[in-house]
Amino acid sequence: MIISIETSTSDLSLTLLNKNNILSHVSIPIKNELSEIIVPTIKMFLRDNLISFDNISFLAVGCGPGSFTGIRAVISTALGITVSKSHIKSIGINSLAGLAMSALQEAKTLKVKYVISSIDSKKEDLFLQLFKINYTKNGLLPIVAISDIDTIKIEKLYNYFLVHNLNLTEVLFVGHQSNMAKNIIENLKVSKNSTQYPDSLGIGKIASCIISNKISINKTTYAFKKFKPIYARSAQINLK
């Protein structure tokens, strides 16, 4: 079984998966007490599903970019779990990739080639990353990162399209400030998902795909064997 955790925005999100099947999912608003509630919440989530850490084989974590506090808290917690439960293997996932994964089926329905993921940087701009959809069925990852993480103001979104030579009809935008993005670029396809922020569902689906298809993490650009914080900016406090 896989448990995935995401805290890079305003919610603590947990998902339990068995291979590609989603068994349980919960999302809890975070106030200022994440470091105090994260471990008890994970334990309660497992108890509610009548399992313990002994039943978990993989721990997947959204590693950012996003909230410095959320990223540090979840990675510290995840490291503690894997140290105390040595049988649990770890996999870290770029939260922008998880967000793109959450819009994958919608993107395929729209027959677009790309997904742009957007996460609030909390500094009046956005973290953006461009992903290409893999329409083949050859066991490869369903999305491929074709750009690094960029930090831009929403007003500069049109320039982002120009820089990456993107055709408007081939792109689905998902995430923070989606409505404003649509106002800035007329006819932009914007995800209709109710969730426009990183969630453990997307993180878990990517992790499950990697695990079930035995894909080498070294061949990806957004998955890591060790929990690696992605700050996209220099962190104020380094994680030891």
Q: What is the CATH number of domain 2-94+198-224?
A: 3.30.420.40
The pLDDT tens digits for 72-96 are 999 999 999 999 999 999 999 999 9
When mean pLDDT is compared across 38-42, 102-106, 135-139, 159-163, the lowest value belongs to 135-139
The pLDDT tens digits for 162-189 are 999 999 999 999 999 999 999 999 999 9
Give yes or no for residue 234 having a pLDDT over 80: no
Q: Are 77 and 19 in contact (CB under 8 A)?
A: no
Close Cβ partners of 11 (under 8 Å, ≥ 6 residues apart) = 27, 28, 29, 30, 197, 199
**DSSP secondary structure letter of residue 55:** G
β-strands 11-18, 21-29: how paired? antiparallel
Task: Decide whether 2-94+198-224 matches 96-190 in CATH topology.
Answer: yes
Predicted TM-score (pTM) of this structure = 0.93
pLDDT band at 116 (very low <50, low <70, confident <90, very high): very high
**DSSP secondary structure letter of residue 41:** H
CATH topology assigned to domain 96-190: Nucleotidyltransferase; domain 5 (3.30.420)
DSSP per residue, 113-130: SEEEEEEE-SSSSEEEEE
Q: Are 35 and 237 in contact (CB under 8 A)?
A: no
Q: Are 25 and 14 in contact (CB under 8 A)?
A: yes
Q: Which of 200, 172, 232, 152 is nearest to 23 (CA)?
A: 200
Residue for token pair 């396809």: 189
Q: What is the mean pLDDT of residues 136-147?
A: 84
Question: Structural domain boundaries of the chain?
Answer: 2-94+198-224, 96-190
Q: Which of 207, 220, 179 is nearest to 57 (CA)?
A: 207
CA angle 119, 176, 117 (to 5 degrees): 55
CA atoms within 13 A of residue 6's CA, in its CB half-sphere: 33
3-state SS class at 215: coil
- The CA-atom distances, in angstroms, between 203 and each of 28, 154, 208, 209 are 16, 25, 9, 10
3-state SS class at 11: strand
pLDDT band at 232 (very low <50, low <70, confident <90, very high): low
Close Cβ partners of 237 (under 8 Å, ≥ 6 residues apart) = 68, 72
Residue for token pair 């917690």: 77
